[in-house]
Amino acid sequence: GAQKTWSFRLQQPQDKVSVTAGGTLTLNCTISGDGPLGPVKWLKGWGSENKTIYDQTGTFPRVTRVVNGSNTDFSIRMRDVQPEDMGTYYCVKFDKGVNRAPVIFAHGKGTEVSLYEAALDPGMVAVVVVLCLLLLLLGLFLAVYMYWRKHRDQAGSQCLARPVPMGSFLPVPLRCCAGTPGTPSQVLDAETSHLPSQPSSKEDNDIHYADLQPLPTAPWHGRSPGTACSEYASVRVAAK
């Protein structure tokens, strides 16, 4: 008999599709017109190496129909896509015939599926940049503060005194004091420092000399207002 002419048309519009790992892949396929009896399946690969990804009678946990029960829309949705899912997918219409195994009646041109790296959200990038700048500024501030505090503590603990010669004695480095030195020794001014003091008791056989010379005001602000550094030393020599 004459061969029947079918007005069947299968459309698989996607050439390439990219998806992130773990994402959801949607593959589109629609049919129209009259065609022979037989299922519509999705195959991965072609020829003897093909693998059935979805058909109307099997069970496929990760693959579902986009429009359940439709006779024209055979688009599918695959969730949790993994690298091994990459490849080319074909939407295929089979002709079941009578008393024979189904044969391919029509198929789409194939959709190539690939993975791509997820793009960073511009908003998240801006937040990360701002946080990095804040951390950098905080670290710089802490470094400056620690340096200032260390310098202040060193300056507050002592003044750097210069050696002052006294008579024929070797120079003695003098430490800084605030105000008048609190010592029990008799203090003489600079003009009479070389003269012996008034006679003292028999128990006191030492002569005390002192040289009080005000120092210039130090260029730091750690000292309390109204105090000044001066040089003071007590030299003890045996009385003749």
CATH of the domain at 90: 2.60.40.10
Q: Is residue 76 part of a domain?
A: yes
Q: Is residue 218 part of a domain?
A: no
Residues of the domain holding 73: 9-115
Residue 228 confidence (pLDDT) above 70: no
Q: Is residue 216 part of a domain?
A: no
pTM given for the model: 0.50
Which of 105, 107, 96 has the alpha carbon at shortest distance from 42?
Answer: 107
Q: Is residue 222 part of a domain?
A: no
pLDDT in tens, 35-87: 888 999 999 999 888 999 999 888 899 999 999 989 999 999 999 999 999 99
Q: Is residue 123 part of a domain?
A: no
What does the block give as tokens for 204?
Answer: 């006191």
Domains held by the chain: number? 1
Q: Is residue 161 part of a domain?
A: no
Long-range Cβ contact pairs of 65-68 (< 8 A, separation 24 or more): 66/26, 66/28
Q: Is residue 62 part of a domain?
A: yes
